[in-house]
């Protein structure tokens, strides 16, 4: 694929899935506003039971967010991302968790390989030496194991398959047959990119993980589910003409 045109300053669509993130959602949107890129910010309230949806609706007129989508029932991160991807109009799309764990200031650096035409997707790796908050040993072990298993099927050499920061060219991402409703979206997206023959780069990022007391939602059950998703999405890809020829 050719480099992205420089005339549009590379419009980046940022999809922000949010479920009960009233304490942090506005701060995340304000951080995004400071990014020196033309951004389209699409927030997806996944049927929050706190004030997340109301806060997002209030912020639409401030310029912090361009679109707010609401799910009537809680469907999960994957469903929220798919809703945001369908609505996105940018040349590149990325997810931004609503919890302050990932720093939007790193988005321009991650975008560079795509903008220059060297990559179709860029992963921001939490395990390539960037500064990070010291937290859970077993979370790191589990993440490394899932990444290793995914790599065995995809024949990629990623260090962080589960990262939130996956920047993907919109023309590629929108034709991938993504079906996952919850956290399995990370596994499925990686499998589909590999099956489509995408050129994937990986760059180090900082990471400020949070504890369960601070609102972290992913659990060991999601880790077990990821094992199933790795097998399912790699061994049984959808049929059709979506892969590169």
Taking residues 66-88, report their average pLDDT.
97
For residue 89, pLDDT beyond 50 = yes
Domain boundaries, the chain: 8-235
The CATH code belonging to domain 8-235 is 3.90.550.10
What is the band of 74 on the pLDDT scale with cuts at 50, 70, 90? very high
Taking residues 122-142, report their average pLDDT.
74
Rg (C-alpha) for the chain, rounded Å, is 17
């Amino acid at each position: 694929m050719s480099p992205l045109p420089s005339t549009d300053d590379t419009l980046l669509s940022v999809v922000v899935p949010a479920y009960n993130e009233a304490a942090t959602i506005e701060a995340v949107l304000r951080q995004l506003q400071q990014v020196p890129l033309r951004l389209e910010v699409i927030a997806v309230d996944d049927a929050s039971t706190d004030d997340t949806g109301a806060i997002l609706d209030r912020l639409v007129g401030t310029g912090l967010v361009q679109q707010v989508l609401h799910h009537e029932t809680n469907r999960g991160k994957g469903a929220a991302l798919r809703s945001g991807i369908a609505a996105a109009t940018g040349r590149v799309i990325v997810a931004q968790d609503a919890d302050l764990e990932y720093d939007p200031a790193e988005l321009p650096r991650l975008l560079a390989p795509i903008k220059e035409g060297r990559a179709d997707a860029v992963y921001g790796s939490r395990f390539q030496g960037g500064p990070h908050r010291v937290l859970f040993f077993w979370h790191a072990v589990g993440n490394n194991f899932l990444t290793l298993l995914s790599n065995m099927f995809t024949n990629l050499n990623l260090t962080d398959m589960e990262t939130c920061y996956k920047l993907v060219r919109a023309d590629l991402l929108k034709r991938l047959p993504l079906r996952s409703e919850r956290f399995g979206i990370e596994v499925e997206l990686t499998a589909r990119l590999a099956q489509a023959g995408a050129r994937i780069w990986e760059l180090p990022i900082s990471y400020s993980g949070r504890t369960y007391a601070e609102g972290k939602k992913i659990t060991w059950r999601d880790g077990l589910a990821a094992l199933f998703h790795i097998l399912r999405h790699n061994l049984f890809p959808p049929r059709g003409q979506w892969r590169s020829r």
